[in-house]
Amino acid sequence: MTDTQLLTYEPTPGRGPSRARGASPAFIELPKPDMSSGVPLMKALALRASTREFSEAPLAPATLGALMWAADGINRSATGGRTAPSAHAFNEIDIYAVLPNGVYRYDAPTHRLVLKHASDARNLTGYQDFVGDAPLDLVYVVNMSRLLEMPPQQRDIFSAAAAGAMAQNVALYCASEGLGCVVRGWINHRLLSDALKLNEDELPILAQTVGALGTALTSLAD
């Protein structure tokens, strides 16, 4: 890696989760996605890009519902098939939505968010300064207990591939709807595990920030 490719972000000061902003319901029922929305796939691929400037404006419920479904929702009700592939359908990746009003886990079969705990842990999802201000940080977590039937040498490879597919689904959805996002691997695994209240057999491996484009980027897009 050359010097011009190195990240230049300064780590955020070490601190714990903040108090949740607003009510933290036990469940957030998500609207079903509008299958007719967005731009064509090839246009979305042309628009896909990483963004690191976000508006603090919250995402609309319909947007959040469509985004989570795009990431790993049920797209074949007869079989329970998902929008993202998983080797042997182990579905070992859980997606956590870290919102200002709480940490939630996406439950694909019911298409809703399930409260893990009521706190604002966005600032702990990565070292970059923007992660604590954007309206949504997704965290992709491997549940190792679901991979016990898989040979150990394959577990890291296949779980990473599954998480990458989900993150790309989100990126394409964001491109199709004019939202910004960025995939992030620069995370403190232990700190983030504690912030999400994960078990010992759960490991966060990837994060992704999502939000409306910041003012400067919006003006450029116009």
Q: What is the CATH number of the domain that holds 99?
A: 3.40.109.10
- pLDDT tens across 74-86, in order? 999 999 999 999 9
In-domain check, residue 37 = no
pLDDT at 180: 97
In-domain check, residue 21 = no
Q: How many helices (H) and strands (E) does the chain have?
A: 5, 11
In-domain check, residue 18 = no
pLDDT at 96: 98
Q: What is the mean pLDDT of the chain?
A: 90
Query: Residue 74, exposed/middle/buried by CB under 10 A (0-12, 13-18, 19+)?
Result: middle
In-domain check, residue 20 = no
In-domain check, residue 35 = no
In-domain check, residue 41 = no
Q: How many domains does the chain have?
A: 1
In-domain check, residue 51 = no
Structure confidence at residue 51 as a pLDDT band (50, 70, 90): very high
